[in-house]
Amino acid sequence: MPADSAHLHDASALQSDLHSLLDMQRKAYAAHPFPPLAQRQQWLKSLRQLLSREREVLIDAISQDFSHRSPDETLFAELMPSLHSLDYTLKHLKRWMKPSSRSVGMMFQPASAKVVYQPVGVVGIIVPWNYPLYLAMGPLIGALAAGNRVMLKLSEFTPATGRLLKDLLGRIFPEDMVAVVLGEADVGVAFSGLAFDHLLFTGSTHVGKLVMRAAAENLTPVTLELGGKSPAIVSADVPLKDAAQRIAWGKSLNAGQTCIAPDYVLVPQDRVEGFVEAYRQAIHSFYPTLIDNPDYSAIINERQLARLEQLQADATLKGARLIPLYDQGQGRRMPHALVLDVNDDMQVMQDEIFGPLLPIVPYTDLEHALAYVNARPRPLALYYFGYNKTEQQHVVHNTHSGGVSINETLLHVAIDDLPFGGVGHSGMGHYHGHEGFLTFSKAKGVLIKQRLNSSLMIYPPYGRQLVRLIQKLFIR
């Protein structure tokens, strides 16, 4: 068979396999379109037991994919929030599933109204490589809580984790309930073109546009979690040690490969050098050395490492001042570096960095800093460091971002009672907690009447006196 014909055959077979899987889940959903509370709770409990029992093999698989991922980072950033999300959902699911009573106006009495939260059907979830467990479990928990069937597409850049999750989830869920799809980019393209009842994608803004375009062919609703350049603003009077330490932690977790990592820092121009030194001390207190340090994670692959090195080279070529914080790295354990004297022509100020490079942008006053942020695409997260409550409120009210943390980084994503989602270029829609349940549910309005038909009073013919009286009473 010629190469082109073989490629077409493979593509056709791929489409057929994915459609067959979707059809199987649709039929299973049609047979059980409204799973009861006890069934959903059992799904979530089984998932919790699985994650708790298999934590060590999950840690090992993720580390294998990264060449080295700190076991403690996987525990804190992937397993812990997944388990907490399951506990939170199990605690509140009964209340979430309860129909919401709504009022009925006098004109329509006697009647009652309610909103029933119905599963949407089959949910597709496209999982990125940077947190392959948590960013699979988070939406999976919400989709199962809402009573749906789920298809998960795992990243081709985390093959060990993908194979393991396929095996582990297959032990507790039949494939018509939860299915894990593996494969390269062509599989992801085909997956995003399936006629899901809802599709959630986490990844880059560029790929998010392609996913949304593919979903539009089927009028599939989408939730997009896209990242972007999340700023941190250091106020004029916050202790530099406080701000630098918290920003350094948010930037160094997973070697900066976090969608809500601080992407650049706005610092008062007279505090820049002080911040540089405070940041250096914070990073060195976390990681005295990178050589054989089990706490420091590697860049996921050579392609991403080369991209980050290109960002450094481009910035230096265009006049930036690079301040390396270590003499050398090890393998793909890339050393942290600060980038000063940046401008908008540099790629490091255009692209989401997703690594241990931190540009510093000086500003004159708070309004200048806010104007800088607001002149750019709306980020997934915004961080403000300052203890003045009036200024905190001013920042929250005068910027747009998916979420905000005041005097902290990253942790708002782990608060189960807060929605998580982007805005504009950083995404659309929300999930986590109750918002996740709502995202994967159809809020169906239901009006209920019994034998008495009060609507007879407004049926034609319209010239009757009773009709005119009703018009006078209810149309003013």
Spatial distance between the Cα atoms of 337 and 143, rounded to a whole number of angstroms: 40
Q: Is 435 a residue of the active site?
A: no
Burial of 90 (0-12, 13-18, 19+ CB in 10 A): middle
Extract the tokens encoding 440: 């994967």
Report the DSSP pairing between strands 337-340 and 357-363. Answer: parallel
Helix axes 159-172, 55-66, angle to 10 degrees: 160
Exposure b/e, 322-341, CB count within 10 A at least 16 = b: eeebbeebbebbbbbbbbbb
**What is the H or E stretch that residue 362 is in?**
strand 357-363
Q: How many CB atoms lie within 10 A of CB 389?
A: 9
**What is the H or E stretch that residue 151 is in?**
strand 149-153
Spatial distance between the Cα atoms of 86 and 131, rounded to a whole number of angstroms: 17
Peptide bond preceding 139: is omega within 30 degrees of 0, i.e. cis?
Answer: no
State the greatest distance between any 2 C-alpha atoms of the chain, in Å, as a whole number. Answer: 92
**Alpha helices per DSSP H over 75-158:** 80-97, 134-145
Q: Is 408 a residue of the active site?
A: no
CA 115 to chain centre: 27
Peptide bond preceding 110: is omega within 30 degrees of 0, i.e. cis?
Answer: yes
Burial of 259 (0-12, 13-18, 19+ CB in 10 A): buried
Spatial distance between the Cα atoms of 43 and 399, rounded to a whole number of angstroms: 40
> Which of the following is catalytic: 73, 78, 225, 435?
225
> Which of the following is catalytic: 54, 56, 156, 259?
259
Radius of gyration of the chain (CA): 26
In angstroms, what CA-CA distances link 101 with 109, 147, 445? Answer: 15, 21, 10
Spatial distance between the Cα atoms of 158 and 204, rounded to a whole number of angstroms: 16
DSSP 191-253: HHTS--SEEEEES-HHHHHHHHHHHHTTT--EEEE-----EEEE-SSS-HHHHHHHHHHHHHG
Residue 427's closest CA among 247, 224, 145?
Answer: 224
Q: Where in the sequence numbering do the catalytic residues fall?
A: 225, 259
